A and B are shown apart, each in its own frame.
Chain A
Amino acid sequence: MESLNLFIKSIFIDNMIFAYFLGMCSYLAVSKTVKTSMGLGIAVTFVLTLTVPINYLLENYVLKPGALSWLGESFADVDLSFLSLIFFIAVVASIVQLVEMVVEKYSPSLYASLGIFLPLIAVNCAILGGSLFMQQRSFDSVGTATVFGLGSGIRWLLAIVGIAAIREKLAYSNVPAPLKGIGITFIITGLMGIAFMSFLGIKL
């Protein structure tokens, strides 16, 4: 029950993309068609579901103050938390490399349409942000961390598919010339953000 709550909460309520703007760059750049944004969204969800639990284990058994105590008494007061950024980004980069190889092998058309953005998932702030929020909120088990990663991924997927669908229609509308393209996308994202804020009142 607890994890179901967290799952729904991480999809709708603390919406990472609208409240913290994580993953904005690829969100704005890839959201031109629904198909590619769906592909990218699934890749991001997959990477988040893998990296958050892995980083959770790293955090709790290697990095946290006193986390190394399973190695023996003398390690009990070692604090490696200042290394967490490097550890997290290394995990993210290697998982992304893995996903890239898998996608290239099994779905070359998706690989071609994602282009440069597949390797750029490594520097997608939503991924590293997921791990950093995990660290900040100190979840109690790997299970909860996984659920949080999956939920964060799905909400990113929802957001990018939503904006892509709107942008496909937007191509037919008459937007003031200086706002065309990126400007109007910003405004629509802002409006979507306000709409998503209506979930804020829900207590789970």
Chain B
Amino acid sequence: MKNKEILLGPLSKNNPVIVQVLGICSALAVTSKLEPSIVMAISVIAVVALANVVISLLRNTIPNSIRIIVQLVVVAALVIIVDQVLKAFAYDVSKQLSVFVGLIITNCIVMGRLEAFALSHGPWESFLDGVGNGLGYGLILVIVGFFRELLGSGTLLGFQVIPQAFYELGYMNNGLMILPPMALIVVACIIWVHRSYNKDLQEK
């Protein structure tokens, strides 16, 4: 029961992006299309889960004063692996993600989970927590990517979704959705919907 909570809590009630407001930078920048959003989500899940396990295994041996550096090194090593794997197997997407793969190192979700969870829990719980938070982050990324690609270019994963007949009737793609600032506004709408259902999260 407790493990289930650790895994599923971050999906809604404790979502890292829309409730704790962590890891916003990459969540917004890569979401103009659905495909890079999914790849980014998978990379972050892998990094958070593995970093959580490693730090959790090391937690009794790391001196408190240098823990930030140790965490950064662990995360940086994992991110380099992810970066190299992406370059080898998904070169086009890794070009689209450009610097944002490297920036997973400074994604606050990773550091936040290491500080708040992995340093005080066992490896298995930390793994679940990492996967859960990665999924919560990925969920928002995929929702934002879905709407921005659908409304902005009329496609999903590169396939045309909105039928040609619509365009002939005068429907136009909303070019604004492709621009970076719209990502913020889409996330704000998600927050709006989410908080109208979860009244206890509303700020005074």
Contacts and interface: CB of A to CB of B under 8 A. Distances in A.
B156 interface: no
Interface string B176-200: 0001111111011001111110000
Given A186-B188, A191-B181, A180 B203 contact: yes
B23 A194 contact: no
Contacts of B26: 21, 125
B143 interface: no
B7 to A, nearest CB: 24
28 contacts: A21-B24, A21-B184, A22-B29, A22-B103, A24-B28, A25-B21, A25-B22, A28-B21, A82-B80, A85-B105, A93-B72, A120-B108, A124-B106, A125-B106, A125-B107, A128-B105, A129-B99, A129-B106, A132-B103, A136-B99, A178-B194, A178-B202, A179-B191, A182-B203, A186-B187, A190-B184, A193-B180, A194-B179
- Band of interface residues on A: 35 or more
Interface in A34-88: 82-83, 85-86
A180 B188 CA distance: 10
A181 interface: yes
Contact of B24 (A19, A28, A190): A28
A29 interface: yes
A192 B25 CA distance: 16
A197 interface: yes
Contact of A89 (B22, B28, B72, B108): B72
Contacts of B99: 129, 132-133, 136
B111 interface: yes
A21 B76 contact: no
A132 B103 CA distance: 9
A187 interface: yes
- Band of interface residues on B: 35 or more
Contacts of B105: 85, 89, 123, 128
A191 B185 CA distance: 8
Closest 3 CB pairs of A and B: A193-B181, A181-B203, A190-B184
A190 B182 contact: yes
A187 B192 CA distance: 11
A20 interface: yes
Given A25-B23, A186-B185, A85 B102 contact: yes
Nearest to B194: A178
A7 interface: no
Interface of B: 21-26, 28-29, 68-69, 72-73, 76-77, 79-80, 83-84, 98-99, 102-103, 105-108, 111, 179-185, 187-188, 191-196, 202-204
B21 A29 contact: yes
Contacts of A23: 25
A18 interface: yes
Contact of B180 (A18, A122, A123, A133): A18
Given A128-B105, A189-B184, A183 B80 contact: no
A85 B83 CA distance: 10
A114 interface: no
Contacts of B111: 123
A180 B106 contact: no
Contacts of B102: 85, 128, 132
Nearest to B203: A181
B29 A20 contact: yes
B188 A184 contact: yes
A119 interface: yes
